[in-house]
Chains A and B, each alone.
Chain A
Amino acid sequence: MSAIPSGPRPKHLTIGRIGMYCFILVCAIFFLMPLYVMVITSLKDMDEIRAANILNLPKELSFYSWPKAWSQACTGFVCEGLKPGFFNSIKITIPSVIVSVGLSAINGYALAFWRFKGAYFFFGLCMFGAFIPYQVMVYPLLKIEDALGIYSTLPGIILVHTIFGMPILTLIFRNFYVSLPIDLFKAARIDGGNFIKIFLYVIIPMSAPITIVAVILQVTGIWNDFLLGLVFAGRDNQPMTVQLNNIVQVDYGVAEYNVDMSATILTSLVPLFVYFISGRWFVRGIAAGAIKG
């Protein structure tokens, strides 16, 4: 998986190689174009947006739209911008990630080392849950949360994210723990370790790499979630994605595309930041999440 090309450099460019580079460049342009349009649109003023080509660089930079998107843009009758959504998303994401990753680590550990009869049946059931469309579950789940008195509250949305994150995370942790040398576990058992002690003193210290993968997966997943936030978070805890959609889809007034694009960029900053700093870990997370074992 080395990024550095090895072997001798091709002696001369063949037609095929030139064609290949052309194709890659065209693809790169296709993939970058929306990001480019987002950024330059957010830096134009509305007059220029109406008059000029969407692909042109701004004639003069206008930073008007950024503070507006952050703290003044209207969602319905409230004009506080994305700021409350940003903090709501943080309030939702941090505890959801901690709870779901912690619970799934314990699940994976129990499934890998402490199997009991029927454990894998329930694990299979849980994995099956990963594929059920959310739409089948939202309403009954809403009723359950309502009965528990946590519908439309912060604990409610955290519970929902924990439930829907659990299958894939449990799978990732289980696969990681199964790959650890079993002798280590046996030695810990002979030394008198019990379920909790072995987990705390043997397993957790070894879990750093897989925990990073799980955290990246969950942070991006929960930050980007829309549907669950819409249904379960309630008015006071609406995440950033929901507010973004409300800001952009307003039916009244003049559409301000530069504000829309600033808001869109602001909303994707956190996952993009995670993506750019984590790089290879992000890729590993995708591969780990994808390979069903």
Chain B
Amino acid sequence: MPLFRNIASMVALLPMIVISLTVFVGCIIYSFVYSLTNSKLVPVINYVGFDQYERLFKQRKWDVAVENIFIYGFVFTIGCLVIGFLLAVLIDQKIRGESLFRTIFLYPYAMSFVVTGLVWKWVLNPTFGLENSMHMWGFGWFELDWLVNRDLAIYAVCIAAVWQGAGFVMVLMLAGLRGIDEDIWKSLSIEGVAKWKSYLFVILPMLRPMVVTAIVLIAAGVVKVYDLILALTSGGPGYATTTPAMYVMENFFSRANLGQAFAASIIMFISVVCILAPWAFYEFYLRNKYAAN
């Protein structure tokens, strides 16, 4: 194929190539290089080796941030998957008002994280929120002080996030369920397999690509969680709900501690790669296997 035929295509793709190289690759290299310096207010090349990383791992705040991201990642992912799958299965039962319910479960996904955070901040308000409602209804023992409780605040974040994101998983799963061959259902019902067993042991494994996609997308979103927490708890009480993303932003923009921010952001990046690499391998491997068949 003569080269000139594709020159127009190359020119058209030039913005993408330039952006990929300068922004996506360039920024990582830049961040890594400056994470090895002791830059404070402005980026300066003054290498200190891996000092910033060492200091980072000694920070109590960073430990809390990492711990939080694990709790949040685990609860949010499991919550979204379980609730999303359950809702998809229920909606698949030819229920009445299906589209109404689907609309109800998905609308939070159209809302921004900031809005989600602010709404739940109000609902969980320790003075005027749901706790107060329960007290007014005579349930004096009811406690819902999560937002001011150091140990529980991160779970308030999880609830808000699941509320926002479960509908997304439901849509993915529902698309998968609707794609299941009618014959499979027929043979399952001839065999007399209970419906919940069919869903759990036959249909769910068939939805594996959907589940994997959902997990990867959720996990990639988990690492960058920032606006939700900023709106809901501002990282508090104290720094009890801080996350790596917040740690990075703080060090960049309010603490003027660029070296720390770069080091932390590189750690974030590496963790995303660790999430993605097995998935990419899986996808790649699977596609090759299918191609071979």
Residues of A within 8 A of B (CB): 1, 3, 5-7, 17, 20-21, 23-24, 27-28, 30-35, 37-38, 41, 49-50, 53-55, 103, 106-107, 109-111, 114-116, 119, 122-123, 125-126, 128-129, 131-141, 143-144, 163, 166, 170, 194-196, 220, 223-227, 231, 241, 244-245, 248-249, 257, 260-261, 264, 267-268, 271-272, 274-276, 279, 282-283, 286-287, 290-292
- Nearest B residue (CB) for A271: B110
Enumerate chain B residues within 8 angstroms of A226, measured Cβ to Cβ: 112-114, 226-227, 230
Determine whether B47 belongs to the interface, using a CB cutoff of 8 Å to chain A: no
Are the CB atoms of B90 and A20 closer together than 8 Å? yes
Are the CB atoms of B93 and A37 closer together than 8 Å? no
Are the CB atoms of B252 and A138 closer together than 8 Å? yes
Determine whether B45 belongs to the interface, using a CB cutoff of 8 Å to chain A: no
- Nearest A residue (CB) for B246: A135
Partner of A5 from B98, B109, B231 at Cβ < 8 Å: B98
Pick out which of these stretches binds chain A: B52-60, B117-125, B150-158: B117-125
- Nearest B residue (CB) for A275: B110
Chain A to chain B contacts (Cβ below 8 Å), 23 pairs? A21-B95, A31-B167, A50-B128, A53-B132, A54-B128, A55-B133, A110-B9, A116-B9, A129-B20, A133-B265, A135-B224, A135-B265, A138-B252, A139-B252, A139-B258, A139-B265, A170-B16, A224-B112, A241-B227, A268-B112, A274-B110, A275-B106, A287-B172
Partner of A140 from B27, B96, B103, B137 at Cβ < 8 Å: B27
Interface residues of B in 237-293 (CB under 8 A from A): 244-245, 248-249, 252-253, 258, 261-262, 265-266, 268-269, 272, 276, 283
Enumerate chain A residues within 8 angstroms of B230, measured Cβ to Cβ: 226, 245
> Which among B21, B105, B283 has the greatest number of chain A C-beta atoms within 10 A?
B105
In the bound complex, what is the Cα–Cα distance between A110 and B16 (angstroms)? Answer: 11
Enumerate chain A residues within 8 angstroms of B224, measured Cβ to Cβ: 133-135
A-contact bits for B1-43, CB 8 A (1 contact / 0 none): 0010110111011011101111111111011000000000001
> Which among B12, B94, B118, B272 has the greatest number of chain A C-beta atoms within 10 A?
B118
Are the CB atoms of A6 and B94 closer together than 8 Å? yes
Are the CB atoms of A283 and B106 closer together than 8 Å? yes
Enumerate chain B residues within 8 angstroms of A31, measured Cβ to Cβ: 104-105, 107-108, 163, 167
Are the CB atoms of B266 and A136 closer together than 8 Å? yes
In the bound complex, what is the Cα–Cα distance between A30 and B281 (angstroms)? Answer: 38
- Nearest B residue (CB) for A247: B118
Interface residues of B in 131-174 (CB under 8 A from A): 132-133, 136-137, 163, 167-168, 171-172
Determine whether B83 belongs to the interface, using a CB cutoff of 8 Å to chain A: yes
- Nearest B residue (CB) for A274: B110
Determine whether B220 belongs to the interface, using a CB cutoff of 8 Å to chain A: yes
The DSSP consensus for interface residues of chain A is: helix
Determine whether B217 belongs to the interface, using a CB cutoff of 8 Å to chain A: yes
- Nearest B residue (CB) for A114: B9
Partner of A54 from B5, B123, B178, B245 at Cβ < 8 Å: B123
Knowing A54-B132, A286-B168, the reply to whether A34 touches B119 (Cβ < 8 A) is: yes
- Nearest B residue (CB) for A223: B112
Are the CB atoms of B16 and A290 closer together than 8 Å? no
- The smallest C-beta distance from B111 to any residue of chain A, in angstroms, reads 5
Are the CB atoms of B104 and A28 closer together than 8 Å? yes
Knowing A122-B16, A135-B248, the reply to whether A24 touches B268 (Cβ < 8 A) is: no
In the bound complex, what is the Cα–Cα distance between A8 and B19 (angstroms)? Answer: 56
Enumerate chain B residues within 8 angstroms of A110, measured Cβ to Cβ: 9, 12-13
Are the CB atoms of A125 and B25 closer together than 8 Å? yes
In the bound complex, what is the Cα–Cα distance between A119 and B17 (angstroms)? Answer: 9
Are the CB atoms of A257 and B95 closer together than 8 Å? no
Enumerate chain A residues within 8 angstroms of B276, measured Cβ to Cβ: 128, 131
In the bound complex, what is the Cα–Cα distance between A41 and B217 (angstroms)? Answer: 34
Interface residues of B in 207-242 (CB under 8 A from A): 213-214, 217, 220, 223-224, 226-227, 230-231, 234
Determine whether B115 belongs to the interface, using a CB cutoff of 8 Å to chain A: yes
In the bound complex, what is the Cα–Cα distance between A262 and B272 (angstroms)? Answer: 37
> Which among B16, B137, B214 has the greatest number of chain A C-beta atoms within 10 A?
B16
